[in-house]
Amino acid sequence: MPFTNKIVLITGGAAGIGKATAERFTEANATVVICDVNADAGNATAAAIGGHFYRVDITDRQAVQAWVDDVVAKFGRIDVLVNNAGVLRDGQLVKFKDGELIGQMPEADFDLVISVNLKGAFNCAQAVAPVMVKQGSGVILSASSIAGLDGNFGQTNYTATKAGIVGMTKVWARELGRYGIRVNAIAPGFTLTDMVRQMPEKILAGMRQHTPLRRLGQPRDIANGYYFLASDEASFITGETLRIDGGIVIGT
């Protein structure tokens, strides 16, 4: 089994793409350690896969460090980090009606998304990188998005974080490659998580219509991407962002 004796950390691993990723690595015999802010869902997922759960707020650098330190104390190493955790708080930069300003993205919504999606990934990578440097190997993977590559209406904050992930991935690949550490990102398209399933069917139909493969992604599709990039088959790939989007190009 390709990930026997490998320790895989997954943030936001309680549900959705994170849960599917945890399942995928478990199938390859990895020791999977997930973190999430949802303790009930996190414990349930860990129990289902035979993995390990920690409740961690990834915006808290000290909490992240304590998590990483405890994992290393228990297992001795960290082979893969998947920065999957993220949030949405959509809204237009400014919204006008009949020539009058009627709304704008709240500053708190901008700050929250930046804190979780971008700073959270930074916190986790910075905590894990010294462990990987000392052992001379490791893989850091992060969740970008097609929004981070193409932009998306009503997602100034989210798009900024996901574009930031692309940039940080390139920097970390340059900085850490000399230590045997590879760094890549995934850019999912519209993916049928539990949250997306709750959207009106009309919206889902529109997503499918704009996807050349005429279906939404499944969490497993994204998990397979993470799995590939973490595997030895991707041993000469670093600094890249892999689109897994069914061919979609976001319109205006």
In angstroms, rounded to a whole number, what is the distance separating the alpha carbons of residues 61 and 225?
Answer: 27
Cβ partners under 8 Å of residue 32, min gap 6: 8, 10, 13, 22, 25, 26, 49, 51, 52
**Does residue 54 have an active-site annotation?**
no
Output the CA angle 184-78-162, nearest 5 degrees. Answer: 30
In angstroms, rounded to a whole number, what is the distance separating the alpha carbons of residues 80 and 69?
Answer: 15
Whether the CB-CB separation of 67 and 55 falls below 8 Å is answered with: no
Given the residues 158, 179, 226, 227, the one annotated as active site: 158
* Neighbour count for residue 70 (Cβ, 10 Å): 13
Q: In a 3-state reduction of DSSP, which class is residue 234?
A: helix
* Helix, strand, coil percent content, the chain, rounded in steps of 5: 50, 20, 30
Active site residues: 158
